[in-house]
Chains A and B, each alone.
Chain A
Amino acid sequence: MALLEVADLFAGYSAENVLRGVSFSVERGGITAILGANGAGKTTLLRAISGLLRRRGSIRFDDQAIERTTTEDIARLGVGHVPEGRGTFLDLTTEENLRIGAYTRNDRRAVALDLERMFTYFPRLKERRRQQAGTLSGGEQQMLAVSRALMLRPRLLLLDEPSFGLAPLVVQDIFRIMRGINADEGVSVLLVEQNAALALELADRAYVLETGQVVISGSAADVRSNESVRRAYLGF
């Protein structure tokens, strides 16, 4: 049984639906990538899973229906969400941002250890520990957003365009750490990306979203060799 199973999902902001009957899954311990151009509905998909907008259809997380669950409770079930725009608490310090991520946890010792773990993943964050998060660079804020979500000790991590607006080296860093976290801690990942080449390198399954519908799906290798994906998304 997959960790996340979405079937026939409709969602949108006003009366109109951006997503029109999307179905896909994320395996336990797997990394699923959702590819698509601007406006295909990628961010909407993640926001619908987290309950940030009106949705209809079936969303099952760990065999539990969550399509009527509130955002707060979905987070408490173990879904970490790195939102579009990073969602930094600008006036709080870097460390306070991380502590917010661990808000629902009561194991203070383990939280302290996790905090140190984030600082070993991203030493830059340690240097900026007491600094206002609003003064961090874009790349640092992305590191912070990923770390904040990880402080929740999620079983599933939703990543919204982690490469957006970042220097290639920073992106490589973040993707390397994502792979490590997935392999060592068994955190499953749902990754939404415009950079298809990068995403397909990391993922084991992939879906291509066009105007709110899945048009291509399969293993990452299959999708990578798909002729229309190569032309439209990989630049061949």
Chain B
Amino acid sequence: MEAFLHQVFSGLATGGIYASLALALVMIYQSTNHINFAQGEMAMFSTYLAWSMIDAGLAYWWAFLLTVAISFITGVVIERIIIRPVERAPVLSVVTVFVALLVIFNSVAGWIFTYTIKTFPSPFPEQPLFGNRYISSHELGAIGITLGVLVVLYLFFRFTPLGLAMRAAAQNATSSRLSGIRVGWMLALGWGLAAAVGAVAGMLIAPIVYLDPNMMSGVLLYAFAAALVGGIDSPFGAVLGGFLVGVLENLIGAYVVGTELKLTVALVLIIGVLVFKPTGLFGRVFVSRV
């Protein structure tokens, strides 16, 4: 029982990280109908940024905040400079740009930081909190930070005029422009937010999977699975899907297929959803009258 609970809790911890990254994917998908394949590598690069700052002697939380801010700005700049020119290009060209971004971030990280695996510090104590036996401090902290990020995003999109404008721009660009919303900037802001959320996910997963240029490839796959399970156009679905995939991954890995095949679970989920329920659990069923 103890082992089982331990699997569930650590699944929730990694699941929260998948949820954040899945949410980043969904945010960009909703406004552009494209999946940003480079989302994971951008998060990995952000994590290296944080590592360099900590390595240079900066306190963890300062490095954390600075990294989030820099990632946000980088996301905005990437949208403005690289994505905007291909806005009206065919899907395949856009996919090519995303894959190119992925490769560029990966190889530049390898070139600057080498491919040697590094350890990344956790800001949380090594001893489990409150003397519990089921969950480590880092896992508990990761769940806390993830939930915090999700709540802040929810409040932003739900209750601020800017958040509302971003949702509007994602839904109906023409009507938004007719209302005076600068749709191009809303997309750029979306990229910034996605990059910032990705950076948080990267910094939270790095102490678990260790830091190297390929650290996010598996994580991104789980995030894809999460987004698809929840419904690629549903932010709530993506978050729920993230936690679900995290727990499933752990339980199936521990009790069914063994840890070597854990990543296969993600692939099976992706294929299963695409074949049996392409809209996912919370994908949109159109309710509209004309």
B20-28, B113-121, B168-176 - the one binding chain A:
B168-176
Task: Find the residue from A70, A87, A132, A136 having the highest chain B CB count within 10 A.
Answer: A87
Q: Given A96-B164, A99-B161: A90 and B288 within 8 A (CB)? A: yes
B165 at the interface (CB under 8 A from A): yes
Inter-chain contact A136/B168, CB cutoff 8 Å? no
Contact, CB under 8 Å: B179 / A135:
no
Could you tell me the dominant secondary structure of chain A's interface residues?
mixed
Q: A96-B164, A100-B168, A137-B289 are in contact. Are A72 and B182 (CB under 8 A)?
A: yes
Chain B residue contacts of A30, Cβ below 8 A: none
Instruction: Enumerate chain B residues within 8 angstroms of A89, measured Cβ to Cβ.
Output: 168, 171-172, 175
Check: A71 CB closer than 8 A to any chain B CB: yes
Which residues of chain A from 83 to 136 have a CB within 8 Å of any chain B CB? 83, 87-92, 96, 99-101, 103-104, 132, 134-136
Q: Is the CB of A88 within 8 A of B175?
A: yes
Query: Quick one: given A103-B180, A132-B287, A134-B287, are A87 and B175 in contact (CB under 8 Å)?
Result: yes
Contact with A along B254-266 (1 / 0, CB 8 A): 0000000000000
Q: How far is the CA of A101 from the CA of B177 in the complex (A)?
A: 10
Candidates B161, B174, B183, B288; contact of A134 at CB < 8 Å: B288
Check A75 for interface membership: any CB of B closer than 8 A.
yes
Segment 149-202 of B: residues with Cβ below 8 Å from A = 161, 164-165, 167-168, 171-172, 174-183
B290 within 8 A of A: yes
Distance from B283 Cβ to chain A, minimum over Cβ atoms (Å): 13
Are A134's CB and B289's CB within 8 A?
yes
Q: Assess the B179–A104 pair: CB atoms within 8 A.
A: yes
Query: Is the CB–CB distance between B179 and A152 below 8 Å?
Result: yes
A25 contacts partner chain B, Cβ-Cβ < 8 Å: no
Cα A58 to Cα B171 in complex, Å, equals 32
Contacts of A149 in B (CB 8 A): 178
Number of A-B contacts (CB under 8 A): 81
User: Which residue in A50, A92, A141 is a CB contact (below 8 Å) of B168?
Assistant: A92
Q: Are B179 and A90 in contact (CB under 8 A)?
A: no
Contacts of B183 in A (CB 8 A): 72
- Check A83–B179 contact: CB distance below 8 A: no
Point out the residues of chain A lying under 8 angstroms from B168, CB to CB.
89, 92, 96, 100, 103
A residues 130-150 in Cβ contact with B at 8 Å: 132, 134-138, 141, 148-149
CA separation between A104 and B180, bound complex, in Å?
6
A75 cross-chain contacts in B, Cβ below 8 A? 177-180
| Chain A residues whose C-beta falls within 8 Å of the C-beta of B167 in the assembled complex | 91-92
* CB-based contact A135/B288 at 8 Å: yes
Complex contacts, B287 vs chain A, CB 8 Å: 132, 134-135
Interface size on A, residues (CB 8 A): 33
B181:A103 contact, CB within 8 angstroms: yes
A56 is an interface residue with CB less than 8 A from chain B: no
Distance in angstroms from A95 CB to nearest chain B CB is: 10
A155 CB within 8 Å of chain B = no
Q: Which A residues are CB-close (under 8 A) to B164? A: 92, 96, 99-100, 103
Task: Please give the distance in Å from A162's CB to the nearest CB on chain B.
Answer: 15
- Assess A100 versus B165: contact at CB under 8 Å? Given A50-B178, A148-B179: yes
Are the CB atoms of A87 and B182 closer together than 8 Å? no
Q: Which residues of A contact B289 (CB under 8 A)?
A: 134-138, 141
Compute how far the CA of A89 lies from the CA of B183 in the bound complex, rounded to whole angstroms.
14
B171 close to A90 (CB less than 8 A): yes
Residue of A nearest to B176 (CB): A100
A81 is an interface residue with CB less than 8 A from chain B? yes
Q: Is A20 among interface residues, defined by CB-CB distance under 8 A?
A: no
Chain B residues positioned under 8 Å from A99 (CB to CB): 161, 164
- Kindly report which residue of chain B lies nearest to residue A165, judged by CB atoms: B290
How far is A111 from B182 in the complex, measured between Cα atoms in Å? 20
A60 CB-CB contact with B under 8 Å? no
The answer to whether A179 has its CB under 8 Å from any CB of chain B is no
Residues of A with C-beta under 8 A to B161: 99, 103
* B178 contacts A83, C-beta separation under 8 Å: yes
Is A76's beta carbon under 8 Å from chain B?
yes
Docked CA distance A73–B178 (Å):
9
Ranked nearest first, the 10 interchain pairs of A and B with the lowest CB-CB distance are A87-B175, A134-B288, A75-B180, A104-B180, A71-B177, A81-B178, A76-B180, A100-B168, A90-B288, A72-B182
Report which B residues bind A (CB closer than 8 A). 161, 164-165, 167-168, 171-172, 174-183, 284, 286-290
Can you show 5 pairs from A to B with CB atoms below 8 A apart? Answer: A87-B175, A92-B168, A96-B168, A99-B161, A137-B289
Other than the given A92-B171, A134-B289, 13 more pairs (CB < 8 A) read: A72-B180, A72-B183, A75-B180, A83-B175, A89-B168, A90-B171, A90-B172, A96-B168, A99-B161, A100-B181, A138-B289, A148-B179, A152-B179
